[in-house]
A = this chain, B = another copy of it.
Amino acid sequence: MEMVSGSHERAGFFARSWWWLKAMPKKLAAVVVEVAKNAKKLGRDDPRIIIHSLKVGLALSLVSLFHYFQPLYNSFGVSAMWAVMTVVVVFEFSVGATIGKGFNRGVATLLAGALGVGAHHLARTSGTIGEPILLGLFVFLQAAATTFIRFFPKIKARYDYGLLIFILTFCLVSVSGFRDDEILELAQKRLSTMLIGASVCVIVSIFVCPVWAGKELHNKVSQNMEKLGNFLEGFGDEYFRTSKDEESDGDMSVLQDYKSVLNSKNTEETWANFARWEPGHGQFIYRHPWKQYLKVATLTRECAYQIEALNGHLNSGIQAPAEIRGKIQATCTKMSLECGKALKELALAIKTMTLPSSAETHVANSKTAAKNLKSMLKSGLWEDTDLLEVMPVATVVSTLIDVVLCVEKIAESALELASLAHFKNIDPTVTTDKQHSDQLSTAKQLTKTDCPNIVITVHVKKQEIE
């Protein structure tokens, strides 16, 4: 009986297994198709990812040559693997990140190597028993202190990787020296292979379709502004749209693009940190005012919070009576539209690095519209209406007025950026640089006449260093 039930069970097990095996190719195919779809989308959304992947492959293949090439192998030995390691770890998506990591790795290895040799010598003088104790103490103190330093926010942002390598190298050198007296020769070999690895990384990352962190930040800030501009341009029509003309629902997705701006802080700060490592490239000189981009970005984000509040009212629809709607619609739409135009103009100006030709006019227009709206409200337009009905509209109006103030601040900050980064003036009829800086109290300290000297100094300095 038991045997029968056992064979039954076994038969059931085999049947299930068979079914599972039969279903597997289908499931596997579905997974593969799904992954392929995702990969295709990823590659299409940002083709630079594919290029970057090929670049990593190229750099690694180049470095692997050291192993194939007999003469090089003889002079570097097993240390050559440090070149491979360096490439894998240092090669990053953007040029700035790659240079930053390479610099961190090089300097940290040099310093920690020297300190490690010193610690090793010091320990050796203290006899057979004292040596391991002293070395253990050194390792402990050094690791604890460096780990603590890694938590300082400013240091973490720029030198985190360097400090990691500092701990690593110090430990390896001081401890491996315990066994080996050829430590200096080893260190020299390791450092030179590391240098080769880092150079290959930097060269490939700069000369094969480079991704500049600075340019990335530049575009990001401009795009975020444009997203807000798109929302504000479309907001008026969308908000005052009656249920009759519902058909224009198609481009609602453009209006929702602003959502990504709300959480953009980390990305922008990361790009700005990387950008500072980069040499001058394209329109960007070394020491381009990256910090000012972050200021503009912060104001843009604050504006996005306001827009988030406006967006909440978009979906609930307008509830005010038609007569009021008619009266404020034109002014509100104009206010929002002009704000949107100003932001898009500023975004374009930043993108092309030219002075904005009409952003200030748009800001002025939106301010005038806000003023008109205010006087309209003052004239007791809504006196015989139910305040509860009017309240959502009043909120939208009030938020829109705040948005106007916000956009004005963004414009000021963007023009300060234009002045600091010497944006070109393409249209001779519009305000000149001098006039701009006069208009801007914030930019007064750095007028066009002051800056070139600074920039020239920087350029000379850079050449000296190189």
Interfacial residues, chain A to chain B (CB-CB below 8 A): 38-39, 42-43, 49-50, 52-54, 56-58, 60-61, 64-65, 67-68, 73, 78, 81, 84-85, 88-89, 132, 135-136, 139-145, 147-148, 151-152, 164, 167-168, 171-172, 175-176, 178-179, 262-263, 265-266, 305-306, 308-309, 312, 374, 377-378, 380-384, 386-388, 390-392, 394-395, 397-399, 402
Contacts and interface: CB of A to CB of B under 8 A. Distances in A.
A145 B35 CA distance: 13
B143 A84 contact: no
A398 B402 contact: no
Grouping DSSP codes into helix (H, G, I), strand (E, B) and loop, the A interface class, with mixed when no group exceeds half, is helix
9 contacts: A43-B148, A58-B140, A60-B143, A60-B171, A61-B136, A84-B168, A84-B171, A378-B388, A387-B390
A314 to B, nearest CB: 13
A175 B144 contact: no
Copies in the complex: 2
Nearest to A54: B144
Shortest beta-carbon contacts, A-B, top 10: A57-B144, A57-B140, A395-B398, A53-B148, A53-B147, A377-B388, A57-B143, A394-B394, A53-B144, A68-B132
Contact of A49 (B57, B85, B142, B151): B151
A67 to B, nearest CB: 5
Nearest to A171: B84
Contact of A305 (B56, B136, B262, B392): B262
Contacts of A265: 263
A101 to B, nearest CB: 12
Contacts of A151: 42, 49
A175 B83 CA distance: 12
A104 to B, nearest CB: 14
Contact of A179 (B42, B67, B178, B377): B67
A67 B395 contact: no
A423 to B, nearest CB: 29
Given A56-B147, A263-B263, 10 more contacts: A53-B148, A57-B140, A57-B141, A57-B142, A64-B171, A380-B386, A390-B394, A394-B394, A394-B395, A395-B399
A132 B64 CA distance: 9
A306 B381 CA distance: 28
A387 B395 CA distance: 12
B73 A179 contact: yes
Contacts of A390: 387, 394
A189 to B, nearest CB: 14
Contacts of A394: 387, 390-391, 394-395, 398
Contact of A60 (B78, B84, B139, B402): B139
A57 B380 CA distance: 73
A391 to B, nearest CB: 5
Given A61-B136, A167-B88, A398 B391 contact: yes
B164 A67 contact: no
Given A39-B148, A263-B265, A377-B387, A136 B402 contact: no
A397 B85 CA distance: 61
Given A168-B84, A172-B84, A309-B399, A57 B266 contact: no
Contacts of A171: 60, 64, 84, 88
Contacts of A179: 67, 73
A58 B60 CA distance: 35
Contacts of A381: 387
Contact of A67 (B168, B175, B305): B175
Contacts of A81: 172, 175-176
Nearest to A81: B172
Contacts of A78: 176
A113 B61 CA distance: 18
A164 B39 contact: no
B386 A378 contact: yes
